[in-house]
Structure 1
Amino acid sequence: MVKRQGLVVWIKHHKYAKRLRRYGHMIYSSRKQKYLLLYVDQDQVEDVIEQIQRLNFVKKVDYSYKPYVDTVYQKKDKHEPVKEEYEEEIRTVF
């Protein structure tokens, strides 16, 4: 399975969105805010960004940080005692 990287491409006008389909898989485009989400193979990201930034209708290109964010979550124990610091703060408030 090929690893992919999301790119947020800010454009000057929405009519240019179709032209960017050749660079990757377009997932979403916003007419009002004038941006689109484009997924590209991770090994081609740098080349695609250079090509896209050369286009005169592109304002800015941002990375999606999803592949770099840790998605392993820890479940909090229900019966974990409240720390003493917080208990003291609660007492002073009431």
Structure 2
Amino acid sequence: MKPELREQILTILAEIPSGRVTTYGRIAAMTEGATPRLVARALRELPAGHDLPWFRVITASRKLADHPCAAEQRERLAAEGVLFDPRGRVAAERLWP
């Protein structure tokens, strides 16, 4: 991945407000050429000890992606007031931007 593309993704990630979520696709659309998969890759490659809100990124179906930190992601979102319906989806009103 080009360093400038990674920088765009991380800059957008840092802007997601507390209590809101966005999707891999929405982040990709705000960049100059990233795809949702590239966004996911950039999040997987975040360095240890970072303070970026990776947990605020969900799938286009407004669910959590299936990954090892999904339980932590759900807890962190719940702590910010982001709740899930019985089907595991976040309310559309929580989407940013």
Scaled to the shorter chain, the TM-score interval is under 0.3
Bigger Rg, which one: 1
- Give 1 or 2: higher strand fraction: 1
- Give 1 or 2: higher helix fraction: 2
TM-score under structure 2 length normalisation:
0.27
TM-score under structure 1 length normalisation:
0.28
